[in-house]
Amino acid sequence: MDYVYYTLKMANGAATSTMIYRLPDGAFIPLDPANGHYREHLEWIKAGNVAHEFSSPDDARAHHSAGA
């Protein structure tokens, strides 16, 4: 399956979090080098792809659906 990755930067009051959001399966990937999906995302970036940044998965899905 060909995946596309997005960066989700989220804020809840003073708390912030960054996750990688993978489409089309909608998986949330933590920034943990021990997580193999995160390593696959790094390989995807290394291959020249760009993980666009959004603040919600809905926005990322809309971006993905638009084929942007």
Partner 1 sequence: MATTITSLGNKMPLALTLGGLGAAITASNGGIFYSTASVGALLAGTATANQILQSGASAAPTWSTATYPATTTINQLLYSSAANVIGGLATANSGTLVTSSTGVPSILALGAQQSLVGIASGTPAVAYIPGLNRVLNGDFQVWQRGAGGSASFAVSASTTVYTADRWQVSVGASTATTVAQTAGATSGSYLCKVQRNSGQTGTAVMYLCTSLTRDMCVGAAGNVVTLSFQAAAGINFSPTSGNITVTVYSGTGSTDISGRNGAFTGTASPISSTQAITTTLTSYSFTSSTLGSTVTQLAVQFSWTPVGTAGTSDWVEFTNVQLEVSANQTPFQQRTFVNELLECQRFYYKTFLYGTAPVQNAGVGTGEIAGYVSIAAATTNFMPNIRFPIQMLAAPTITTYSPAAATAQIYNESASAAFTATTVFHSTATDQVVYGTGSAGGTVGQAIGLHITADVDVT
Please identify which residue in 24, 32, 45, 50 interacts with partner 1, judged by CB under 8 A. 32
Please identify which residue in 36, 45, 50, 62 interacts with partner 1, judged by CB under 8 A. 36
Name which of 67, 32, 58 is nearest 40 in CA terms.
32
Tell me phi and psi for residue 12, to 5 degrees: -135, 95
Please identify which residue in 4, 29, 44, 51 interacts with partner 1, judged by CB under 8 A. 29
Q: Are 24 and 65 in contact (CB under 8 A)?
A: no
Chain contacts with partner 1 (rule: CB under 8 A): 1, 8, 10, 12, 15, 17, 19, 22, 25-30, 32, 34-40, 56-58
